[in-house]
Chain A
């Protein structure tokens, strides 16, 4: 009995670790996609004529981080097939703030649609992960054990 309850605690902790890692990854991704969007929006705003070298540097840095991390993170989140195409489309179209300004209307629309697709999926994912974390935090070891017992016939099918 002692051994089994220890195992239950360990199982919860292991799941929690993975969940926390996923949450951290999705938060980092969302942060970068938001920053990228801010700079794209600035680039598209014709009322703001000044594009500084600092803004271009920031854009390149964010883009480099996204290019480096996107495949790994999306795979970890199990959404690689669904989001990868849209993400790459945004990163390939948006080469610089000035480059974004020079895009045709169609390309801009496509860029915004693809960005929205990626952002929406990551946002939903973050919500689901947070909900799961909340569930786990509210669950005692006994609840967890009981739910596994009750769930057994369904999972065995």
Chain B
């Protein structure tokens, strides 16, 4: 008996995307193998590299973002908020980090639930009120709960390989001497195949990433029980706000600067972005809010 239904449409789209990605990768592997086994070392090398990246993701991302782990005594309220959300979501307590920057943002990393880190920027803490911060934390904890780090690492594995081959192949095996004629043309074919795999998988990965964001928004709504807090947090983070300025003051020559072009990107731009548009996320959250009343 649970008020929360799952979003079958979203799950089906996610499943389809992952299925297509797997199909592209299998075809790619088949081509690689048919061209000779000597590519195996490349796959092993990439595999090892991805594994290291996955295993040390928390440390790497934290240092590249300039995030500093904070203790319970440094940020007691932040720890309390996260702790209660973890209690509700039945997650182990992650480590918490803070990034000193005025840009409002947050992220989660770590290879599994036990090694997770949730980080927020000081800009986020300053700009949002506590229940909005809680909603953002719940979104990040859902990424942890859904094992998004692992899913996305696996999803990008062969795509990175294809990308690497596109970048390296032009400098390899294109010698053009008599003996290399055959290997030259097969290298050209490999280049084309890799390029296609790279482009198609890139679009699929970005699509998957957007679906996982929707899923994390939904999870945040479920864990906090309050979709509207996430809506107001998202609008504040993206710089769009319900205006506080009187209409009569805004009207006039300056108003051109206030209309919201930044909000609606082009359809092509959307295809390549990692996150859904603000409108799409707000729409989805409002549907969840309506489900709650149904």
Instruction: Tell whether A and B belong to one assembly.
Output: no
Residues of B within 8 A of A (CB): none
A interface with B by C-beta (< 8 Å): none
